[in-house]
Structure 1
Amino acid sequence: MMYKIPLFDLNFDSREEQAVIDVLRSKWISTGPKTIEFEERFAKLLNVEHAVAVANCTVALHLALKLIGIKSNDEIICPALTFVATVNAIRYCNAIPVFADISSLENLTISPEDIERKITDRTKAIIVMHYGGFACNMNPIMGLARKHNLKIVEDACHAPLSEFNGKKLGTIGDIGCFSFFSNKNISTGEGGMLVTNSSEYYNEAKLLRSHGMTSMSYERAKGHSSEYDVIELGFNYRMDDLRAAIGIIQLQKIKEDLTKREQIRHEYVSQLSAVESIIIPFKDNKEFSSNYIFPIVLKDSNFKKRNMIREQLSQKGIQTSVHYPSVHKFSIYKDFYTKLSITEYVADSIITLPMYSKLSKDEVSFITTTLKEIL
């Protein structure tokens, strides 16, 4: 069905179209100068030393785990309230996902206290996911990493330019991973970025991104290299220049986009704060956030009640979603199941309301008024 108010709307215009046309006319459409420019601009925006553009955030996560040396049967502590790709990357390495609960109904990021409870002598790393663009509590998490000699991978797919204590998310741990999927703050259709301050990780990531080859096609085409060796078992995880060109335009728009999202969030919060039957996660957040999504959690709810409310909103022309079904309850992860009381309640009781920079005040008012009438 066509929704009156969709969950998300692309922040695209003629500039993205022209960027693609320019690349097509350049006659170099695979990984090349636009990819390099996109990487450099992204790194500068985050104030991080290195950025490597890749095919999507899933492969960025896989590469991150390879770079930090994850091996078969190593344990990786991770949230279950995340998109399944976060956990799939662990299994690609034949490692073991150890699920930790979230902090509370108000804070949907991974709990430092539960992380600590889950650490064993087989634990090698922690993956944090900055839910909705809101920072995990990184101080105690980094403290645990130092204490137990663990690596930190930040799944920052929701969080371009979001901050924790003034530092950009994705740049606090060892490696950060970003998504440019079609519904993200920065969209290239498909695409991702791996960022790090480690030159060792950066050089290895570039190698593994392209089959373990010592030079790429663009370098050879420009005469910088006439031959190559293959020195590691790499992958085809490259981004192409068509998507990178779109990404460059999206970077030029991101600050204005996030400012508008912040204003929209303020409208939502002011109009819903007095509703006693819902919780607004991160309502008192003071850190800068990308506001990727606007979730609410229903009180005294369950899966059936939540879905009924979503259906009624749909009938009024308002598209909603669920971020997320809990990964540890998917069939493929049944062998790794552990009871996560808060995560499981949230997964059954959360509703994601529309959030995008073109959303008007009148549309927000229509959404909140309709929701109040249903509740």
Structure 2
Amino acid sequence: MNTNPQWRVTVADTSIGAEERAAVTEVLASRWLSLGQVTRAFEREFAAALGAADAVAVSSGTAALHLAMLALGIGPGDEVITPSLNFVASAEVAALHGARPVFADVRSGNDLTVAPYEVEKLITARTRAIVAMHYGGHPADLEALRAISRTRGVALIEDAAHAPLVPTPLGMAGTVGDLGCFSFFATKNITTGEGGMVVARDPDVLARVRAMRSHCLTHDTTERMRTGGATYDVPAVGLNYRPTEISSALGRVQLAKLTQDRARRQCVMSVYRERLGLAMPFDDRPDDGAHHLAVVLLPPHIERTLLREELNTLGVQTSVHYPPTHQFTYYREQHGSALRELPLTEHLAPRLLTLPLHALMSDDDAVYVADAVTTGLRRSAWR
């Protein structure tokens, strides 16, 4: 629920209710709060919903991407191809490994996913992985990307942070590549506050992810508590990316509510498409995604900053997804990312504006936002 009086409609919100509170209370009553049976149940339920053999819950979507690259053995001197129009996480975990993030352009103003023909041109002898991000919950061209990854012998990692339980012709998003990484951040369609999930086609790769999630200890947390914790070994280097039982309890309820929440999001998007009069990416495929983001492409003559200021005065919160990663200072200075132009990304990114979209919005809220955009466009054009 929106508790900030500044906003008539927030850009995101969470549908947390009595069921989530009851699930968390049950965990608190058990007095076992770290990785345990609730998390294992969440993993199995999420995997079953995806049609995957198993899944590994982790502490964030970034942790999921980090563990995916660790499991693939990506390291210094390697290259990872990733779209620049994405959250910084995929590039930063590559950089943390000593690898070089190589940025790819998008397909078009109507399809903001990574362009397969761009990816293929960027592959070198050093390339170890391709990251395919499902922008706004709309699947990237997985058929082309999987073909490229198999032909060229590089791994395909799906950044499915926006796309839980999104079907594609090849299977659920996240299950088509070698690994799939999901996020349950506070603004995501399934939220646990912070959290994530990893799936993998190769069970040995997923086993490495599971081990590295908890320091590569040979005995898990519950077993160490049961035995006194004195008999484990550490055969490899790992990290602490464990989720809590509290977050997993939230996740189980949120997973069960996803279908109804998605239907409400779809209704909001339908209102936007009817009333906005602006280009919306993926307009030719309105029903194939998760309806995670409501993004409009502003006319070139509109100053986005001015429009956002006008919408603020009307109580409509907005955001931007995303500032291009290749233009950030670190990637320019440390990886020379700005030396290669990404013409579509650079042309489109300053024109993208994210409008409110969440399952607590009514059709009236969507009408209000659409009308506010019309008013804001007129006012900002006068300034």
The yes-or-no answer on 1:37 pairing with 2:41 is yes
Partner of 1:336: 337
- Map 1:151-300 → 2, pairs under 5 A: 151-165=155-169, 167-222=171-226, 227-272=231-276, 275=277, 278-285=278-285, 288-300=288-300
- Kept in 1, the 8 Å contact 2:137–2:289? The answer is yes
Q: Residue in 2 aligned with 1:361? A: 363
Corresponding position: 1:346 with 2:344: no
Please state whether the residue corresponding to 2:199 is helix, strand or coil.
Answer: strand
Structure 1: tracts of 5 or more residues without a match: none
1:332 is paired with a residue whose SS is: helix
- Runs (4+) of structure 1 exceeding 6 A deviation are none
Corresponding residue for residue 74 of structure 2: 70
1:98-150 deviations in whole A, cap 9, x for unaligned? 10000011100001111111111211110011000001011111111111011
Deviations 1:271-299 (A, max 9, x none): 22xx2xx3210001165311111000112
Distance 2:23 2:116 in 1: 43
Q: Deviations over 1:355-375 (max 9, x none)?
A: 011211111111111212332
> Would the aligned equivalents of 1:50 and 1:197 in 2 still touch at CA under 8 Å?
no
Identity %: 37
Contact 1:106–1:283 (Cα < 8 Å) also in 2:
yes
Separation in 1, partners of 2:346, 2:140? 19
Q: Which amino acid aligns with 1:110?
A: V
SS at match of 2:55: strand
1:45-73 Cα distance to aligned partner (Å, 9 max, x none): 11111200101010110110111121211
8 Å CA contact 2:20, 2:250 repeated in 1: yes
Corresponding residue for residue 135 of structure 1: 139
Deviation of 1:260 (Å):
1.4
TM-score (norm 2): 0.93
Report the CA distance shift for 1:21/1:189 in structure 2 as closer, same or farther (over 3 A): same
Q: CA deviation at 1:27?
A: 1.2
Match of 1:319 among 317, 320, 343: 317
Please say if residues 294 and 352 of structure 1, whose CA atoms lie closer than 8 Å, have aligned partners that are also in contact: yes
User: Does structure 2 retain, via aligned residues, the 8 Å contact 1:50–1:198?
Assistant: no
Contact in 1 for aligned 2:181/2:199 (Cα 8 Å): yes
* CA deviation profile, 1:62-94 (whole Å, cap 9, x unmatched): 110111121211111100001111111111111
Q: Secondary structure at the match of 1:279?
A: coil
Q: Does 1:7 align with 2:5?
A: no
In 1, the alpha carbon distance for the partners of 2:199 and 2:226 equals 26
- Aligned partner of 2:86 in structure 1 is 82
CA apart distance, 1:165: 1.3
Give the partner amino acid of 1:357.
A
**Which secondary structure does the structure 1 equivalent of 2:182 belong to?**
strand
Instruction: Give the Cα separation in 2 of the matches to 1:200 and 1:166.
Output: 22
What is the root-mean-square deviation of aligned Cα atoms in Å? 1.5
Whole-Å separation in 1 of the counterparts to 2:189 and 2:242: 21
Letter in 2 for 1:336: S
* Letter aligned with residue 126 of structure 1: I
Q: Which residue of 1 aligns with 2:381?
A: none
Distance 1:294 1:18, change over 3 A: same
Structure 1 contact 164–287 (Cα < 8 Å) conserved: no
Change (3 A) 1:214 1:301: farther
Pick the aligned partner of 1:95 from 99, 103, 120.
99
TM-score (norm 1): 0.95
CA contact (8 A) 2:267 2:363 kept: no
- Mapped to 2, the partners of 1:297 and 1:62 lie a distance apart of 32
Structure 2 residue runs of 5 or longer lacking an equivalent are 378-383
How far does residue 226 in structure 1 lie from its aligned partner after superposition? 6.4
